[in-house]
Amino acid sequence: MTGRLDTTGRPLPLTHVGVDRAAHHRLDEAWLAAAWSHPTTRVFVVSGGQVLVQDTEDGRTELVMTPAFDAPETEMHRYFLGIDPADGVRYFALQKDTLPGRMDEVARPAGLREVGGLLDPLQAALMVHAVALENWQRLHRFCSRCGERTVIAAAGHIRRCPACGAEHYPRTDPAVIMLVTDEEDRALLGRQVHWPEGRFSTLAGFVEPGESIEAAVRREVLEEAGVVVGEVEYVASQPWPFPSSLMLGFMARATSSTITVDGEEIHEARWFSREDLRTAFESGEVLPPFGISIAARLIELWYGKPLPRPGGLPQ
């Protein structure tokens, strides 16, 4: 469903299919044990949303991976992430309380915001999966039904309660993110109250219980900017595990143009023509949105090409 974002010639970061998740193996302890000890299996450590990465001699950034027999095993929580259909390699992530010390001179800790757009598609997908699981594991250690401490199961994809038997599954919070345009084809961009001066992006918000995603788009735009939205069209989605969101991207058409910001989430909102935005980016008056976000791609989709950078430098 990312075809509409291909006008820039680049896939949307963090959305790659990557490995075959092979979910049917998650409850098969014998299979998992054999996969873990297989010499071609690769393991990386995840802790606090970070992994170890290294820069290669030819200028790429990659995950630091080891065979399982080299992986640290104390307090082991391993997540089975899947199998590369191209070569059969099985991938695991190992959840640790801290990242191992520097494994060599080039290994360094990094989070998704920093390296999500630098890793190759398969490694980016592995990292997103592992970070999302680890976020959920870390925040759901106790049973929401009875309060007992839960234990990890299904190779990282379930937490079980030994007291009441409840099974808890990873949580994903749907959020809508939308580029709103008016009848003059100007784009509505807003600045959140906690963003620095000049940072503008698309509006966004969480879907509420019992609400359709289309209704959430219209409600959020009305609440945050006072603009009425009519037609809503789904474009693409992006996992955004900070800590557990799934961003659902839309193009939306306004039926009113007067802006009244709520002042709580959005401090300022403006209609930009393409020329307005180009001038504002190049002068530095407006800062471009975060590079790997779906927000940047929605704006590019409307803009028609990669966004200009401050000073007119190419991206």
- Minimum separation from the CB atom of position 16 to Zn ion (A): 36
By beta-carbon proximity to Zn ion, the closer residue of 143 and 152 is 143
Name residue 275's amino acid: E
Q: Which two tokens stand for residue 204?
A: 């966004």
Shortest Å distance, C-beta 95 to Zn ion = 21
Q: Of the candidates 293, 291, 14, which has an alpha carbon nearest to the alpha carbon of residue 129?
A: 14
Site residues (vs Zn ion, CB under 5 A): 143, 145-146, 148, 161, 163-164, 166
Q: What distances in angstroms separate CA 183 from CA 58, 202, 218, 273, 286, one per listed residue?
A: 48, 17, 17, 11, 23
Separation of alpha carbons 238 and 202, rounded Å: 15
**Closer residue to Zn ion (CB): 60 or 145:** 145
Cβ closer to Zn ion: 147 or 284?
A: 147
Three-class SS of residue 284? coil
Three-class SS string for 70-92? Answer: HCCCCCCEEEEEEECCCCCCEEE
CA of 79: how far to CAs of 40, 105, 125, 134, 160, in Å?
17, 27, 14, 9, 15
At its nearest, how many Å lie between Zn ion and the CB of residue 155?
21
Minimum CB–partner distance for residue 136 and Zn ion (Å):
17
Beta carbon of residue 300, minimum distance to Zn ion (angstroms, whole number): 46
Which of 118/166 has CB closer to Zn ion? 166
Residue 185: name the closest of 250, 257, 267, 233 by CA: 257
**CA 108/CA 63 separation, integer angstroms:** 10
Nearer to Zn ion, 113 or 145 (CB): 145
Least distance from Zn ion to the Cβ atom of residue 28, Å? 25
- Nearest-approach distance from CB 145 to Zn ion, in angstroms: 5
Name the residue nearer to Zn ion (CB basis): 103 or 166.
166
Nearest alpha-carbon partner for 239 in 189, 298, 171: 171
46: Cβ–Cβ under 8 A, 6 or more apart, which residues? 79, 93, 94, 95, 96, 127, 130, 131, 134
In the bound state with Zn ion, the residue whose beta carbon lies nearer, of 166 and 307, is 166
Strands 50-55 and 42-47: antiparallel
Task: Please provide the DSSP assignment of 207-222 as one string.
Answer: PPTT--HHHHHHHHHH
Residue 224, H or E segment: helix 213-225
Question: Residue 153 CB, nearest distance to Zn ion (Å)?
Answer: 13
Q: Which is nearer to Zn ion, 139 or 146 (CB)?
A: 146
